[in-house]
């Protein structure tokens, strides 16, 4: 129970000048958070209540799947990070203690938790196990942004599962997925589970939990039941009307036309009738030529995953030496291996335009298969209008609020986490790791439900259930009634913020709507006259009234019906 007159809730009439994202503006204006430095934020009391409510929901769902809460330090010795090969990560904060020992600030806790398990687990009888904690993560982000959406220090719930084998991991992973679905629903968020890139975490699979909103940093591809991060999404391309096939490729002069648009316009064909060449160089300096349709773009994450090894774009001099001048390169007549994107047809029904590998010239009438050999790949970025199983995709921005990984033995092997099976054989532990960011969940809720007046919290994570506004002078009958209702609301189990400041009605209403508690009660002169208390539902700003007698219970019933 909280009286606003003495509560540290510094609201602002105007957003910070440098704020761009809606959640950034509103969380600062509402007095929930304050910036300390780039990507460094303090949570003020009301903001921390939101954070803690989310934490509690997550905790309950982790406990429900057998998770055991613990706590591991942020400051850690560098050695385990060297052993797992993660010491080289740029985002990892590195420092030395007074003795000169190399330390790191943890960005996640795989190294430490695996170390504990390695030391303590000897037998299959001790598995499976689920461990988790809420702890600060430190990441030296190249560019923090958008308030608490992308910060250098943040609290994450990270859990880790330890199983005997792949089947055990799969089951643990599925249980986590179910827990994540429940916690996100309970937080009142709109969300998608999407296929994700496993990235450098390595391992056997990954899903991301995405909350769609304008400030989202990721793009999610959705179509019917299909959902994937655009980094890994696949879809069927929209067909393009190709020019008729020719008996053989034919050179056309295209002086100075180095762009798809210029060539397409000159030849009167759609951009999709061109083939774009993207020369890459693999680790061993082997060069390959990736070909996608002129209206498509190479997706470097998909390409990397398909290659299974790092690559870089070829430099102009390398391109010049092996193919031709940049802007005029193509697959015909080269001895480079060619990776042809799945959206390019080779049924002979039409033909493409490609660079001719000499200055100011292209080839038309080019047919994959007939005019060049290729390996078929899927390496393009999905675009709006593509389809998945007949359903047209849409692409939405979203915040990543959670990410789950099947790690396999990626960490248990370098850190020596093994157990003895029934036959007495040493086996590596199979691991999964599961992250969730309460701060991002809070920001996502702000983004998803805010309106012109401010924040509109889902009831489960609002800083308070009810804001009680009293109008009228201190000592007035209105105040006496409000004091009584305030106490009754508490008895009814509602967390209430009581605005008993000596301020005008406009200021109180404006602040209440900015802060966004699900219900606002107003007690003023009208209340006394009508024997009814006005209740405003924040989401939609619809007003109703309840009798003064029994008001708290009526409000509690109403609250339970809210989203």
Partner RNA sequence: CGGGGAGUGGCGCAGUCUGGUAGCGCACCCGGCUGGGGGCCGGGCGGUCGCAGGUUCAAAUCCUGUCUCCCCGACCA
Contact residues for RNA, defined by CB under 7 A: 11-21, 24, 35, 37-40, 86, 88-91, 107-108, 139, 141-146, 150, 199-201, 217, 300, 453, 471-473, 502-507, 509-511, 513-514, 522-527, 534, 536
Residue (28 or 323) nearer to RNA, CB: 28
Identify the residue whose tokens are 């001719």: 356
79 or 360: CB nearest RNA:
79
230 vs 263 by CB, closer to RNA: 230
Give the span between the Cα atoms of 278 and 66, in whole angstroms.
49
Count the residues in the chain.
563
Torsion sign, CA atoms 334, 338, 344, 350: positive
Report in angstroms how near the CB of residue 260 gets to RNA at its nearest.
18
Q: Residue 545's beta-bridge partner residues?
A: 534
Minimum Å gap between C-beta 530 and RNA is 8
Q: How far apart are the first and last CA of the chain?
A: 22
Between 236 and 453, whose beta carbon lies closer to RNA?
453
Which one, 39 or 428, has the nearer CB to RNA? 39
Residues 6+ apart with CB under 8 A from 119: none
Rg for the chain (alpha carbons), in Å?
Answer: 30
Characterize the bridge pairing of strands 496-499 and 2-3.
Answer: parallel
> Does residue 36 contact residue 42 with C-beta atoms inside 8 Å?
yes
Any idea which residue has 């390959």 for tokens? 288
- Whole-angstrom Cα distance, residue 524 to residue 120? 64
* Least separation in angstroms between CB 109 and RNA: 11
Question: 403: closest CA among 203, 559, 188?
Answer: 203
Name the minimum Å distance from CB 329 to RNA.
22
Residue 389, sorted as left (phi over 0), alpha (psi -120 to 50) or beta, turns out to be: left
Q: Give the number of other Cβ atoms within 10 Å of residue 56's Cβ.
A: 14
CB of 63 to RNA, least distance (A): 25
Nearer to RNA, 355 or 435 (CB): 435
In the bound complex, what is the minimum distance in angstroms from residue 21's beta carbon to RNA?
Answer: 6
- Give the tokens for residue 530: 């009508």
CA–CA gap between residue 20 and residue 447 (Å, rounded) = 12
At its nearest, how many Å lie between RNA and the CB of residue 541?
A: 7
> Which is it for the CA torsion 371, 374, 380, 384, positive or negative?
positive
In the complex with RNA, the residue whose CB is nearer, 473 or 549, is 473
Nearer to RNA, 218 or 427 (CB): 218
User: Please, what is the angle between helix 438-449 and helix 22-29, to 10°?
Assistant: 100
Rounded (5°) CA angle 319-320-326: 75
**Alpha helix (H) ranges present in 12-123?**
22-29, 45-64, 79-83, 110-120
Quote the least distance from Cβ 171 to RNA, whole Å.
24
Residue 134: phi and psi, rounded to 5, are -105, 120
Q: What is the nearest approach in angstroms of RNA to the Cβ of residue 19?
A: 7
The distance of closest approach from Cβ of residue 273 to RNA in the complex, given in angstroms and rounded to an integer, is 26
Nearer to RNA, 441 or 537 (CB): 537
Residue 114 vs 357, nearer CB to RNA: 114
């Amino acid at each position: 129970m909280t009286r606003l007159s003495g509560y540290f809730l510094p609201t602002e009439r105007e957003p910070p000048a440098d704020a761009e994202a809606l959640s950034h503006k509103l969380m600062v204006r509402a007095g929930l958070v304050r910036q300390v430095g780039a990507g460094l934020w303090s949570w003020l009391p009301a903001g921390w209540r939101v954070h803690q409510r989310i934490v509690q929901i997550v905790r309950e769902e982790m406990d429900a799947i057998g998770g055991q809460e613990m706590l591991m330090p942020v400051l850690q010795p560098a050695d385990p990070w060297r052993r797992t090969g993660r010491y080289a990560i740029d985002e990892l904060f590195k420092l030395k203690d007074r003795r000169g020992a190399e330390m790191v600030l943890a960005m996640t806790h795989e190294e430490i938790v695996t170390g504990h398990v390695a030391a303590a687990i000897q037998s299959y009888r001790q598995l499976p196990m689920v461990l988790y904690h809420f702890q600060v993560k430190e990441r030296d982000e190249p560019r923090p942004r958008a308030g608490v959406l992308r910060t250098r220090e943040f609290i994450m719930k990270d859990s880790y599962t330890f199983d005997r084998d792949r089947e055990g991991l799969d089951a643990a992973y599925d249980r986590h997925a179910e827990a994540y679905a429940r916690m996100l629903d309970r937080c009142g968020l709109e969300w998608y589970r999407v296929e994700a890139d496993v990235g450098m975490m390595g391992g056997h699979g990954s899903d991301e939990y995405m909350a769609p909103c304008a400030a989202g940093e990721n793009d999610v591809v959705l179509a019917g039941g299909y959902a994937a991060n655009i980094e890994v999404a696949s879809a069927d391309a929209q067909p393009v009307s190709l020019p008729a096939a020719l008996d053989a490729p034919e050179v056309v002069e295209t002086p100075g036309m180095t762009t798809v648009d210029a060539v397409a316009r000159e030849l009167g064909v759609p951009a999709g009738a061109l083939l774009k060449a993207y020369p890459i160089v693999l680790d061993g300096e082997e060069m390959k030529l990736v070909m996608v349709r002129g209206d498509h773009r190479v997706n470097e994450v998909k390409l990397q995953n398909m290659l299974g090894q790092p690559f870089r774009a070829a430099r102009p001099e390398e391109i010049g030496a092996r193919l031709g001048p940049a802007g005029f390169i193509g697959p015909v007549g080269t001895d480079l291996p060619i990776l042809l994107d799945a959206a390019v047809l080779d049924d002979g029904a039409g033909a493409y335009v490609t660079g001719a590998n000499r200055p100011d010239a292209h080839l038309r009438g080019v047919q994959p298969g007939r005019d060049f050999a290729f390996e078929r790949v899927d390496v393009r970025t999905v675009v709006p209008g593509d389809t998945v199983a007949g359903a047209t995709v849409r692409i939405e921005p979203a915040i990543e609020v959670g990410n789950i990984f099947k790690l396999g033995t990626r960490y248990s092997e370098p850190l020596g986490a093994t157990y003895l099976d029934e036959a007495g054989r040493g086996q590596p532990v199979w691991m999964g790791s599961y992250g969730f960011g309460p701060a991002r969940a809070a920001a996502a809720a702000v983004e998803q439900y805010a309106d012109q007046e401010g924040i509109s919290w889902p009831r489960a994570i609002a800083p308070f259930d009810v804001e009680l506004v009293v109008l009228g002078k201190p000592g007035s009958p209105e105040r006496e009634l409000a004091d009584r209702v305030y106490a009754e609301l508490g008895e009814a189990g509602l967390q209430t913020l009581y605005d008993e400041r000596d301020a005008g009605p406009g200021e109180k209403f404006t602040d209440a709507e900015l802060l966004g508690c699900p219900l606002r009660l107003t007690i003023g002169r009208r209340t006394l006259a009508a024997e009814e208390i006005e209740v405003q539902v924040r989401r939609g700003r619809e007003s109703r009234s309840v009798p003064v007698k029994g008001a708290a219970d009526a409000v509690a019933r109403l609250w339970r019906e809210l989203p």
